[in-house]
Structure 1
Amino acid sequence: MTRMIPPFFDPESTSPGEREVFERLRDDPATEGWTAFHSVGVVKHPRQIQGEVDFVILVPNAGVVCLEVKSHRRVARLDDGRWQLGSHLPEVRGPFKQSDEAKFAIGNHLRKAGPSLPPLPMASAVFFTHARFQAPNPTEWHSWQSVDTIAFHRSPISALVLGILRRHREHLASTPSARGWFSTASVEPTSATCSRITDLLRPSFEFTEPPKIRRHRREEEAERFTQQQFQVLDMFAENPRSVVKGAAGTGKTFVAIEAARRLAANGSRVLLCCYNKLLGQWLKGEVAKVELISAGTFHSYMGRLAQEAGKQQFGGGDSRTWYRETLPGHALDVLLSDERPRFDALVIDEAQDLMLDNYLDVLDVSLSGGLGSGRWLQFGDFTNQAIFDSDADGINLLHQRTGNGFVSVTLSTNCRNVPSIAQHVEENARLVPGYSGTLRAENNREAVREWWKTPEEQQRLLVKHLNRLQADGFAPDEVVVLSPRGSTSAAAMCTDPRWRARLVPLDDARTRFVAYGTAHAFKGLDAAAVIVTDIETVNDQKTQALFYIASSRARDDLTVIARDTARADFRRLLLGE
């Protein structure tokens, strides 16, 4: 695959065509050893104060291609000779002239900056990625210098570039003025020459990815990978009642949102709910513009029903009894008195925490056709994340209520974490079964584990890694500090003068601040970087589940700060004892 410089593009300034060329060059296995520069500035341009080349592609033993990419859906050469691309005003200087001038500018720069470089076969070309372009017998360019949308999508990009270079080399061999410096036996640029060209075109100090682009890339990458999990939606289209099982990071929440949107698009009234408060708020924001979807936590839904009936809200006392018995009872009273189902379909995330009889009673009456005959889709990690009094046996309640009238499918590919974090989660959380694979590329950031003996030492380690993440370009709101503790966690008790005012609770999360909270509260969500603190033991099912939830939230960087007394627990987990 091609080495891309820079390794990522700016989504705000990159055209759709450039984006597709970039991704195809980057992902084509037949381009191993190639180097491609994207958006190369040309200071000494023959016609402009400063120009730009969309792509400069170095192909060892073949040549160099200066590529201009046009994403317009309409390309026309007017009767007066001017070019019109899309809705832009006509211009005299067309794309082939633009590409050719860029080639000469790059060539001149290389000859001056590297006078000892050997002569190079350099071709210019234009890709019309979204338009047909057929000009019979052109006189101002060679037909092989253009690739229209049909050719672009019909062949691998490696074949297209190699085809351009092959025709260019044939052209040089047949041109008398080129015979003095070019031979068909030439293997320039060699790999060594390509390395020298790389140093001349873009020195290594320019390789740093801007933080804004890095952040967008991380978020977009995660969303793109979760889209590959949507194959489960085809199953749901044919099976009205389905359970989707999967470990943390397998894309369950994104599929849940897409399922709810598709149901609403077909006219169904949908309840999209979960257990966790912060996740409920996020779900609500994601579907805020879809009128037919009611999103949020399951408890907030029951609270609204109770409010309709004028029932008193929770005012203290035994919260467990209120939320597990009293509130579901109020909600049922309203639903049964109304005698009309509220929804045509249910989509439930974190279903493992809602597998209780009283909760299922409310869901049953809320759904047209009930749980036995209605349309529903439930997502859950039924073996690893049930930390709210429901466990793997809870799914048996569904079987009892539906007579086994649903299908089950498992998502096993991790699409959230980079491979090193996915492996850390598998090994240290006794994830059984483990992931079948990971979709994200490695980022050369190993999961970090630090040990502390005193609270003061843990404070120093927390500050150390907050400083590290900041130096590495993570924005404050990309970092989350998670703990099994609440108000007594390391982050909540932070005394460092620089960081104590920049740490805020999860429910008050803001830009330019690092959020902290419990693993319970952050369940169902994720962050680019996660620091897990206050781990003193991982020796039972509850503490192992909490550690699993906390560590699996990290997409790109994971730091675990544990007490030295927990070493033996981690050793047992790693050895499977």
Structure 2
Amino acid sequence: MISPDAPSGERQVFERLASDPQTDGWIVLHSLALANHVRQAQGEADFVVFVPGYGVAVIEVKSHKKVARTSDGQWRLGNHAPTGRGPFQQADEAMHSIRGYLHAHGADLRAVPLVSGVWFTHVRARVTLPSSPEWHDWQLLDLDDFRTGAARAVRRLLIEGRDQLSGRLPALRELPQQPDSMAVGSLVAKLRPRFDVTVGAADVRRDRESQLAAFLDEQYEALDAMADNRSVLFTGPAGSGKTFLALEAARRAQANGIPGRLLCFNRLLGKHLRSAIQPSEAFAIGTLHRELLRIAGVTPPARPDDVYWDELLATATDRLLDGNFARDVLIVDELQDLAKPEYLDVLDLLVKGGLAGGQCLFFGDFERQALYDLEDGRAALRARIADLACHTLMTNCRNRPRIGSAVELLAAMSPGYKRYRRQDDGAQPRYYWYGTAEEQEAKTIQAIRDLKAEGYEFEEIVLLSPRRGGSIAATTTDQWLTQILIAEDGTKPRRGRLRYTTVHAFKGLETPAVVLTDIDDATAPGFDALLYVGLTRPTDRLSLVGTRAALRPKLGSLK
């Protein structure tokens, strides 16, 4: 776990490494104090990263948004005073201090590459810093390395560092796979003995509830935007509080006696909205299609098809044109699923003054959550609302930081989240790799049991799959698993039952722990969007059951 007081760049590096599936087996020490520093009375290494089979990297992190060298060779970092002791010198001194300590305590480092590097987390330093005899180009890591993967960047540092050192250290050529896991454990034990602190499940739940209930400045600004503008479009990635704000807007309207509607596309999300706020005669809450059924005065068949819903849209439109159904305020969550002409035509008739002149609040993620082959509907919306105000949300209010970092890596988010409301609790996402269907069933069961052993109840866990049919949850024959599984239906979770559903159906919702299964076909339609939505559903624990091949394009490869 990293301190919340740590510089933003150090938190970012720590969270990216912790959430990267390629760091399995790695050990990362943050803020390692060096009592016997080679230059000063006491020093510190920002990160010491132990990678089995590659080596040990000592990394100095610089979070400054401006990096410059003066004409006399001084470093100017951000607004700090110029200094002659640059970051590469700091990293090198920390590395030699660690090497000296390990030698003094009997460590054999002849076959262990020990290299140093500097990570400029907020600038593209590899482009802007010229080459210099003071450091090797391979010692430089920067902002772009978050996009391609933190683990990949550290491995690159170690690979090129080994190549540089092998010319004068023959053991590096003779034993290319060192250090192994046992050697890594021995080195870490000399530098920082390990210990574990256990937090009770009840404490975790209280912590989650208190953190999710708190407002941040960004949310207050968003609420102010609601009051100051007639029509506002709130955009932001998953977990940025859009549904929370939609519900708050509905509560305020109800409290002030303003007739209106809070609508969405997804059925389970509609049930969640109705459970969070009691609808009334004056204020309807639920899916758009549920509201159109009410307006049209019809009951759908048991299994309606697309033709039925198209006909309902036409029938309801006729009723809206003939009657007085418009209300004072319209709130739409997950707008990206409804931002196409036929839906906008209906929404136009549901609010007094129409979209062009009515009071409307829209919430949507247009970057990655479009699961229904829809085009970006913002242009169509702006064409109907000339004075539409826009407000962007970039604070992650849902996920623990390490889950958010995994989302940024695997979904290639750029830019990523600006900050996190939730505190880091030291638990990183878990990855369970499989090759066959039988292996996937075993890995899924193991993921569930790992969460249960950690203190999560079955009703706090949801199995999500990108498949509508044939998912591991729907097809398993394991007796233990079939006894606890229950299809998610949007009602209150039943104690002792493990819910399962599709990523599509769970869109817009959240739960403490998610096991994302069936991640094995990167060529499936909408795979990137489905992966993004599935990864962002858990508030506290993310487990992914998949194949390495499916995620290899996301993670890249090294020699």
**For this structure pair, what is the TM-score category when the shorter chain's length is used for normalisation?**
0.5 to 0.7
Matching residue of 2:264: 274
Residues 1:484 and 2:466 are matched in the alignment = yes
Residues 1:535 and 2:519 are matched in the alignment = yes
Residues 1:501 and 2:483 are matched in the alignment = yes
User: How high is the TM-score relative to the length of structure 1?
Assistant: 0.60
Give the C-alpha shift of residue 316 in structure 1.
5.4
Matching residue of 2:306: 320
Larger of the two Rg values belongs to structure: 1
Residues 453-481 of structure 1, C-alpha deviation per residue, up to 9 Å, x if partnerless? 10000000011111110110011111111
SS, match of residue 515 in structure 2: strand
In 2 relative to 1, CA 312–295 (structure 1 residues): closer, same or farther, beyond 3 Å? closer
Matching residue of 1:218: 208
Give the C-alpha shift of residue 314 in structure 1.
4.6
In 2 relative to 1, CA 476–315 (structure 1 residues): closer, same or farther, beyond 3 Å? closer
Q: Which amino acid is 1:321 matched to?
A: V
Give the C-alpha shift of residue 223 in structure 1.
2.5
What percentage of residue pairs aligned between the two structures are identical?
Answer: 36
Give the C-alpha shift of residue 566 in structure 1.
1.2
In 2 relative to 1, CA 557–213 (structure 1 residues): closer, same or farther, beyond 3 Å? same
Q: Which amino acid is 2:391 matched to?
A: V
Q: Is the 8 A contact 1:383 1:391 kept in 2?
A: no
Matching residue of 2:55: none
User: How high is the TM-score relative to the length of structure 2?
Assistant: 0.62
Q: Which structure 2 residue ranges, 5 or more long, are not aligned?
A: 4-194
Q: 1:454-465 counterparts in 2 under 5 A?
A: 454-465=436-447
Higher relative contact order (CA 8 A, sep 6+): 2
Matching residue of 1:24: none
Residues 1:395 and 2:378 are matched in the alignment = yes
Residues 415-458 of structure 1, C-alpha deviation per residue, up to 9 Å, x if partnerless? 11111100100110122332111121111111112211100000
Q: 1:42-121 counterparts in 2 under 5 A?
A: none
SS, match of residue 498 in structure 1: helix
SS, match of residue 406 in structure 2: helix
SS, match of residue 347 in structure 1: strand
State the distance in 2 between where 1:303 and 1:227 align: 39
In 2 relative to 1, CA 434–361 (structure 1 residues): closer, same or farther, beyond 3 Å? same
In 2 relative to 1, CA 496–225 (structure 1 residues): closer, same or farther, beyond 3 Å? farther
Matching residue of 1:548: 532
State the distance in 2 between where 1:312 and 1:284 align: 19
Q: 1:30-429 counterparts in 2 under 5 A?
A: 209-225=199-215, 229-288=219-278, 292-307=282-297, 311=298, 313-314=300-301, 319-323=305-309, 325-338=310-323, 340-392=324-376, 394-402=377-385, 404-429=386-411
Count of residues paired in the alignment: 363
Matching residue of 1:524: 508
Matching residue of 1:466: 448
Residues 223-263 of structure 1, C-alpha deviation per residue, up to 9 Å, x if partnerless? 22578624211111111101000100000000100011112
Q: Is the 8 A contact 2:412 2:554 kept in 1?
A: no
Matching residue of 2:70: none
Give the C-alpha shift of residue 400 in structure 1.
1.6
Q: Which amino acid is 1:235 matched to?
A: A
Residues 1:513 and 2:497 are matched in the alignment = yes
Give the C-alpha shift of residue 216 in structure 1.
3.3
SS, match of residue 232 in structure 2: strand
Q: Which amino acid is 2:300 matched to?
A: Q
In 2 relative to 1, CA 431–314 (structure 1 residues): closer, same or farther, beyond 3 Å? farther
Matching residue of 1:151: none
Q: Is the 8 A contact 2:279 2:285 kept in 1?
A: no
Residues 294-352 of structure 1, C-alpha deviation per residue, up to 9 Å, x if partnerless? 10011111111122xxx5735657x23332x32211111111111x2431101110000
